[in-house]
Structure 1
Amino acid sequence: MKVRYPKYVKAWSIVMMLLPWLLIPLLGKSAFKRFFPSGIFISFVVLFVNWIARKRRWWKWYDAFSPKITWVIPFTWGPFLIGAMWILKLTYGNFLRYIALNIIIDGMFTYGLGYYLKRFKIFSLLRLTKNQLMSLFMIDALILYGFHYLKEKVQ
């Protein structure tokens, strides 16, 4: 039996993945070179956490292209990757500002955008509460900052 997806899901997911990349020129070449490895690293961490979450049914990313390619792919390689680089550019070196900005952005996703993502069948929480999701986001933020800090120390 062939699965039918809503009419514009594939187009929206491609736009969601590619649109943030238009902000790269504003980031600047040196900032891109500096923060891109950390963005790639945390994106793979997020994909690993999503793999665990799928197994444990913490949350669900609905299908974007197929059952194997869900909305987590466009979110991770679009807004998340580019957003991580922008957050590092704007706040790296001031840890309190970094944490505050992460709390604001992750809070908007968790407590605001989450409702709409569920309504439009993109993402929904299953066995995780919003507070647990927010804690997981904060752990990811600490991992990102720590990785970038160590990367800068090695260079």
Structure 2
Amino acid sequence: MIPNVIRIAQLIAPWFSIVFLPKKSFNQYLPVSLFASCLVIGMCALAAPFRWWEVKGGIRFKIFNDLTFIFGPFIVGTLWIFHFTFGNLKRFFIVNLIIDALFSFPVNYLFQRLNLYKLVKFKPTYIFLSFIGFSFIIYGFQLVNKRAFLK
């Protein structure tokens, strides 16, 4: 029961912050946020057959768990990170290093203690490295997207 309440709160709560995000930033960074979400969906799809992590309740709960994270704090966080850092590569990667480290280690530990999921064949370091790798990819995507938009 508690994990489902946390999942629903995790999905809904971040969207309250969007009212403070300028509409221009929302429109400008939504494509890269959706692209980043697709990368994480791909990682989550691979997690089941490779048993990277498990969620109590089977595949249905795993999908619910993954989607509440992706379409809650992940997509909204990506919007905010790009809003504050895009155009300054050094700041973008420093912020990503901090946020990814926080998620991969203390937040991941907390989520496992709250029984949201359990890492099986995936270590917190792998989460960190995956998300850092994604940050390189999505920054490049946004650069290409910005150039295409300007033409």
TM-score over 0.5 for the pair: yes
Q: Which residue of 2 aligns with 1:4?
A: none
- Superposed CA offset, 1:55-107 (max 9, x none): 21122344599446331111000000000010001110111111111110110
- Equivalent pairs counted in the alignment come to 149
Q: Choose which of 74, 81, 104 in structure 2 pairs with 1:87.
A: 81
TM-score by length of 2: 0.90
| Paired residue secondary structure (2:87) | coil
Instruction: Determine helix, strand or coil for the equivalent of 1:70.
Output: helix
Q: In structure 2, what is the Cα distance between the partners aligned to 1:87 and 1:68?
A: 26
Task: Please tell me the root mean square deviation across aligned C-alpha atoms, in Å.
Answer: 1.9
Paired residues of 1:61 and 1:70 also in contact (CA < 8 A): no
CA distance in 2, matches of 1:66, 1:56: 17
Q: 1:122 to 1:142 in 2, by over 3 A?
A: same
What is the distance in 1 between the residues matched to 2:82 and 2:55?
A: 26
Contact 1:13 1:64 in 2 (8 A): no
Give runs of aligned pairs for residues 1-150 of structure 1, distance below 5 A.
7-63=1-57, 66-67=60-61, 69-150=63-144
Structure 2 CA distance, aligned partners of 1:64 and 1:16? 20
Cα contact 1:16–1:74 (8 A) shared by 2: yes
Structure with greater helix percent: 2
Gaps of 5+ in 1: 1-6
> TM-score, normalising length from structure 1?
0.87
Counterpart amino acid of residue 139 in structure 1: G
CA distance in 1: counterparts of 2:20 and 2:58, whole angstroms: 29
